[in-house]
Amino acid sequence: MMTQNKDKKRGQIQMFCMDDMVPQDHLLRIIDKAIDWNFIYGLVVDRYSPDNGRPSMDPVMLIKLPFIQYLYGIRSMRQTVKEIEVNVAYRWFLGLEMMDKVPHFSTFGKNYTRRFKDTGLFEQIFSHILQECYKFKLIDPSEVFVDSTHVKARANNKRRQKRIAQEEALFFEDLLKKEINEDREAHGKRPLKEKDDDNNPPSGPSSDKEEKTIKTSTSDPESGWFHKGEHKSVFAYAVQTACDKNGWILGYSVHPGNHHDSRTFKSLYDRIKGIGIKTLIADAGYKTPGIAKLLIDDGIKPLLPYRCPMTKKGFFKKYEYVYDEYYDCYICPNNQVLSYRTTNRDGYREYKSCGMVCVNCPYLEQCTQSRDHVKVVTRHIWEPYMEMCEDIRHTLGMKELYSLRKETIERVFASAKENHGFRYTQVFGKARMEMKAGLTFACMNLKKLAKIKAKWGLQEEGNPLKSPILYVIRLIKDKWLWDANPRAALSTAWGDLIFSSTLFDFLDFGFVTFWLCQQSISCSVCGSL
């Protein structure tokens, strides 16, 4: 029998509760319970007048608007407002009734430019959510993974111009100059003159190091021209990011897309260096003497991969020239000595061979193409730090630790781009890009925290032991296959609990012992009851 509804229910008037319209397991409901959103009032109280002007929009709702956009990866604020108009869960999350008017899409942008600009609000929101994760002992900062990803800027590739730009100074430039002069004096050389005082600056590739010609976008000048692969280039921003081994985002920094990772690393490092890092894992782009010295001097082990020598095919690699530390010289494959000559402005010691000896060398064609038959090998004054990095890389367990990059920082970038709209940006300027990055990473941390709290019962109140009990029970059931073999599950759980510092931050040793013994199952430590 065919039934015809004839749209008779569309005009019905009903009474309902907004809270009943949102499922209990909805993501926004879980996120809303995860933290107390009232902390935003304390961050923005000085940006509002208490006794002047018209009533403003609720600051919490104002911040929740971009949270919805970045949480679900919606393309723009205009589209976000359209989704809020018809989505009951979005209205509930913002505290709007069904008949309330949704704010205009330009509301957040105007508040950003007029009220929240240069306030550090979004970085404070990110930090607050990160502190909530720390409260539940979910973050392990001992091993930190660092990398950068590029976000396409809102800039037309054809609307560009060339300009002369000053190359940014390295973060270790002052320290390097000091040690260069000390090294030259130790070798009987005069200290280098300042370039401003030198009336005859050197010619060659190093003479134009302070200035360079770059491509700049006319629509977003703060972005950088980034070469994406071999055949594609775009204007983009580089977002430096750090996370722990569990995928929690610990810090970020935003830079133009044409800046190298090794030059922008210091800004990110200053934000995360005080969290208790023991090992920092990064890719080959960060393997420079300056970064190696910075980390080792701060007591952090840098885990950096092997870099292939940048030598022409058919020529000897640098490692085939043996360095003699005692005599401070290099030995070539033909057992000839390359002696020290000078230390240049970049911090490299130059070791040169004798052209009169090399002219008759049988390996000359594999050694150098110099017209005077002189081979030059360079060694940075901080090369011992690079050698220490190589020793760390060959330490037991470091290879397995480095392989976790694809499961941690690379997965963070993949999730941000695929699920949260971080592949490109619709905003202009570096400051707004920092706002987007901060809110996106805050959403990702909060989403992860909310799901964990809901799964393990960590948001239960009243009994302080309730959450740890649920955590242990569910962990044993999920991780150690309780249903398949309870005896083996408890035995394995006991061993893992003993050596897990994270769990012992939640649980007391005596409580775990008592709980396991109450199961009336034999284990290797306490026996059977």
Q: 146 and 409 in contact (C-beta within 8 Å)?
A: yes
CA 256-259-262 angle, 5° bins? 135
Torsion of CA 151, 157, 159, 163, to 10 degrees: 70
Measured distance CA(382)–CA(172) in Å, rounded: 12
For residue 76, give the nearest of 414, 421, 423, 413 by alpha carbon.
421
Measured distance CA(94)–CA(16) in Å, rounded: 18
Residue 459 has pLDDT above 90, yes or no: no
Residue 208 has pLDDT above 70, yes or no: no
Residue 349 is predicted with a pLDDT of: 93
Q: 304's torsion region: left (phi>0), alpha (psi -120 to 50) or beta?
A: beta
Residue 206 has pLDDT above 80, yes or no: no
Position 102 confidence tier, pLDDT thresholds 50, 70, 90: confident
Taking only the tens place, the pLDDT of each residue in 361-406 is 999 999 998 999 999 999 999 999 999 999 999 999 999 999 999 8
Q: 347 and 176 in contact (C-beta within 8 Å)?
A: yes
Classified as helix, coil or strand, 352 is: strand
Alpha carbon 131 to chain centroid distance? 17
Residue 402 is predicted with a pLDDT of: 93
Measured distance CA(157)–CA(415) in Å, rounded: 26
Residue 214 is predicted with a pLDDT of: 79
Mean pLDDT calculated for residue range 477-482: 48
The conformation of residue 360, written as its DSSP 8-state character, comes to: T
| DSSP assignments along 207-224, one per residue | GGSSEEEEEEESS-TTSE
Taking only the tens place, the pLDDT of each residue in 161-204 is 777 776 777 888 888 899 999 989 998 888 888 765 444 444 43
Position 482 confidence tier, pLDDT thresholds 50, 70, 90: very low
Strand partners, 162: 215
Q: 431 and 117 in contact (C-beta within 8 Å)?
A: yes
* Side chain identity, residue 46: D
Position 300 confidence tier, pLDDT thresholds 50, 70, 90: very high
Q: 359 and 350 in contact (C-beta within 8 Å)?
A: no
Please give the mean pLDDT across all residues of the chain: 81
